[in-house]
Amino acid sequence: MPERANLTGEGSELVEGCPLPSDLLYDLEFEVWVRPEGASDPSHSPGPPGGLTFGLMAPFTAFVGRVQEVRYRPLEGVQERGRSVATAESVRYTGALRLPVRGEVVERNPLLSTRPKWLNDEPYGRGWVARVRRADDVPLPSTLRPALEVQEEVRALIRERRTRCHALFPDVEIVELGSECSAVLLRLDEELARRAPEEVVLLVVDDPTAPIELERWRMQTGHAVLERRKEGERYLFLVRKEAFPRPERPR
């Protein structure tokens, strides 16, 4: 089990390392989650009766890669289930974000216009897509199912796609196999020097001394190691560049 500094979703269950909060409903056809109005939602204030918030599931955002742009459609009035609310674009994916119920879009997430990567980093929180008022106060469709019911289907999909979820989605990946840790850390320093504060680097190495050396590096530099895990003979570290690093010991 990976060590995580943060999870996208309070009380999340992990399915193959990907969070699947138990208090949400899921539409696997569109790979979205739904939070009916009245459920715990710290990202914004309560909305109209019969309303809901929806967004993309974490396994899907991890699969499509870093989202670079979200473009909302100018929809007005009641829309049918499956209507495209917005389009998301990443390096390897361009696709529609679809309405999981029949209803009217009453709010779009303004955060996604300036930082689309919230879809990757906090898909169940600040990365929500839209708020919807259900049409005619009809019941939620049977396509929306609880986490426990969809868990095995989600597990199979993650394995089929070889999806890997992280506490935060990496902005860049460094793979150094067969290299000594000292050389790897030098390259990590160089990469972080080019990065803006809060950007995240995924470091993949196979040096068995890496866990000890990365912890020493963290204490000397003051940058955060958000996640540590081992997959076979490889070690994976998720490193975030801090705006104001606070070293715990001299380098």
Position 172 confidence tier, pLDDT thresholds 50, 70, 90: very high
**Last residue in a domain, options 161, 191, 211:** 161
**Last residue in a domain, options 142, 161, 180:** 161
Same domain, 191 and 148: no
Kindly state the tokens that stand for 166: 């992280």
Decide if 166 is inside a domain. Answer: no
- Residue 11 in this model has a pLDDT that exceeds 80: no
What does the buried/exposed string (b/e) look like for 69-108 if buried means 16 or more CB atoms within 10 Å of the residue's CB? Answer: ebebeebeeebebeeebbebebeeeeeebbbbbbbbbeeb
Decide if 221 is inside a domain. Answer: yes
The C-alpha atoms of residue 66 and residue 169 are separated, in whole angstroms, by: 7
Decide if 61 is inside a domain. Answer: yes
Domain encompassing residue 231: 172-240
When divided into structural domains, the chain yields a total of: 2
The C-alpha atoms of residue 41 and residue 84 are separated, in whole angstroms, by: 24
Q: Could you tell me which of 33, 30, 27, 31 has the C-alpha nearest to residue 8?
A: 33
Decide if 10 is inside a domain. Answer: yes
Same domain, 124 and 156: yes
Same domain, 57 and 151: yes
Same domain, 187 and 74: no
Same domain, 51 and 14: yes
State the residue for tokens 């990065």: 195
**Last residue in a domain, options 119, 136, 161:** 161
pLDDT, tens only, 32-75: 999 998 654 444 444 445 699 999 999 999 999 999 999 999 99
DSSP-assigned letter for residue 119? H
Q: What is the CATH number of the domain that holds 149?
A: 2.40.50.100
The C-alpha atoms of residue 39 and residue 35 are separated, in whole angstroms, by: 6
Same domain, 12 and 127: yes
Same domain, 150 and 177: no
Decide if 90 is inside a domain. Answer: yes
CA end-to-end span of the chain:
31
H helices of the chain, where?
A: 58-64, 111-114, 118-121, 147-161, 181-194, 210-221
Global pTM reads: 0.81
